[in-house]
Structure 1
Amino acid sequence: MSKFGTIVVGPAGAGKTTFCSALISHLRANKRSCFYINLDPAAEEFAYEPDVDIKDLISLEDVMEEMGLGPNGGLIYCFEFLLDNLDFLTEPLETVTEEYLIVIDMPGQIELYTHVPILPALVKHLMRGSLNINMCAAYLLEATFIVDRPKFFAGTLSAMSAMLMLEIPHVNILSKMDLVKGTIARRDLKRFIHPDVGLLDEEVPDSTSHDTPGDDDDPYAAGNVMGGSSFRRLNRAVGQLIDDFSMVSFLQLDAQDEDSVGAILAYIDDAIQYHEAQEPKEPNDEIDTDMGDRD
């Protein structure tokens, strides 16, 4: 028997915990069972109490205090400790049935999804063996990134890196869409939903650039560090890499909109083949056909 789950990942501030709360609320409103796991050892407030909370095993604050580590090093230590004590996570999941959607809320340190092998090891453990969880990743990127096109393509590259790293079905999401409504035309928004490298060619040069004649091709010139031809060529190369792989496209999320959350859930269900594994419901055959008591 398979289990089903989604692991919610993405950079800090993307709205992962808010999305988890909105998803759980939607599931409950539609009479679906949910099992909520918090794997952020620094998280403190939740709209819904997690069924499993990593802070009951180890907290980032304790690690930083006792080990003398910084936030990033402490986070890596927490996950290494979790991998050494996986029974803490797997034992509660043993009793979860196929009717549940397992929602795993992750921290926002991007290195967990790009080059540190800890998260791939954790995902493989959950998807194999006795748990056998059909799992997809929901990668959130804040929609306000589209205001700064190089920043958007950098975020898109991080999403693609996570897809290659985790090697599981992915649903990429532009979160906080309510913050950009009215700031960009719908026609232009479609070019961000399916990232179009041509957006970088249309970037208006920064009028504050300090380029001087003859310095435009010098990568060490002050104005070219975050502007000028060298910076544009770098962004173009990143955008072309994304375009060549053709892996990343985005769904739009407004966590305050029930229909938006429901649409994201439908994509997650398709990715993990949730509905295909559900037992068909029997029709209600307990209809009272006794007419004898009527006057």
Structure 2
Amino acid sequence: MAFGQAVIGPPGSGKTTYCNGMSQFLKLIGRKVVVVNLDPANDSLPYECAVNIEDLIKLSDVMVEHSLGPNGGLVYCMDYLEKNMDWLESKLKPFLDDHYFLFDFPGQVELFFLHSNTKNIITKLVKKLDLRLTAVHLIDAHLCCDPGKYVSGLILSLTTMLHLELPHINVLSKIDLIESYGKLVYNLEFYTDVEDLSYLQYHLDQDPRSSKYRKLTKELCDIIEDFGLVNFSTLDIQASCLFFSLFSLYSINGYIFDSIQGSVVDYLKDEKVEVQALAVQEKYMKDE
């Protein structure tokens, strides 16, 4: 049995940066880690990549050969990978005994709530390789500065959770940059806990012509609250909250109970680490 993370999220949400930071941290604390790039559009990798989908198929080649745009090309690439899972499985098998996996997925959101190829790839990894994965869904924190964009991020998170059917954690990334996009109308806890979303309607466009938009937003908020599945952690890639988040990831897929994780859990339980992580969040809290 092996463990790992499926790192997903919209383009520009920080997936590659997260994989790079997380892999460096795991190596520093003595963990063996394998980073797997499954994004055929990611041609500039800051991390050491043990398995790269570009060794199997390249987006640029697909676009030229089949006259496809970037979105259609990505769908084709993931379909191709699904049909050639033997290649990926053979690349991963040498690391299964004692490595922790980080899968860097493409940023095309349709792959995670509409198409079945990515879900099928993950399902095959779980079943054939006995690989326990947690989905780490990154959403750019700047969405919190606009109620409409924030609700869109919530809907995306919810549909992705329901589609992938994996242990799942949603993360507001780039939290250190949130103030550069403007002040939040509520404190950060409102956006991470995802409760009482009805308050957002007071901050939508009040133009009479936008009445249907406000009604739609209210209905979407009701759906999100009815499911009661979505909440967020916060992430500053430079801060110790990255390390504290790892404890949640270890807990959610059972890695915390596995013998190979060793001193990582003891380190993450350290009160200093917890206090530092909470301090990052409190830095961006403001009174209502």
Same fold per superposition (TM over 0.5): yes
Mapped to 1, the partners of 2:246 and 2:48 lie a distance apart of: 20
Mapped to 2, the partners of 1:14 and 1:158 lie a distance apart of: 13
Deviation at 1:274, TM superposition (A): 1.1
TM-score by length of 1: 0.84
- The alignment yields a C-alpha RMSD, in angstroms, of 1.9
> Who is 1:260 aligned against?
241
Q: Which runs of 5+ in 2 are unaligned?
A: 263-288
Deviation at 1:279, TM superposition (A): 4.9
The AA in structure 2 aligned to 1:33 is: K
More helix by share: 2
The AA in structure 2 aligned to 1:273 is: G
Q: Contact 2:148–2:204 at 8 Å: present in 1 too? A: no
Match of 1:138 among 136, 139, 142: 136
Mapped to 1, the partners of 2:30 and 2:199 lie a distance apart of: 43
Query: Alignment partner of 2:63: what SS?
Result: helix
Q: Which runs of 5+ in 1 are unaligned?
A: 210-215, 217-223, 282-295
- Counterparts of 1:1-295 in structure 2 under 5 Å? 2-129=1-128, 131-181=129-179, 183-184=182-183, 188-196=187-195, 197-203=197-203, 205=205, 209=207, 216=208, 224=209, 228-257=210-239, 259-279=240-260
Mapped to 1, the partners of 2:256 and 2:194 lie a distance apart of: 30
Query: Alignment partner of 1:136: what SS?
Result: strand
Mapped to 1, the partners of 2:204 and 2:13 lie a distance apart of: 26
Percent identical across equivalent pairs?
Answer: 33
Q: Contact 1:137–1:168 at 8 Å: present in 2 too? A: yes
Number of residue pairs the alignment of both structures matches: 261
Mapped to 2, the partners of 1:77 and 1:13 lie a distance apart of: 21
Mapped to 1, the partners of 2:162 and 2:24 lie a distance apart of: 31
Q: Contact 2:250–2:256 at 8 Å: present in 1 too? A: yes
Mapped to 2, the partners of 1:157 and 1:205 lie a distance apart of: 19
Mapped to 2, the partners of 1:38 and 1:169 lie a distance apart of: 21
Mapped to 1, the partners of 2:70 and 2:82 lie a distance apart of: 19
1:98-123 per-position Cα deviation (integer Å, ceiling 9, x unaligned)? 53210000111010011111111111
Q: Which structure: larger Rg?
A: 1
TM-score by length of 2: 0.86
Mapped to 2, the partners of 1:41 and 1:11 lie a distance apart of: 15
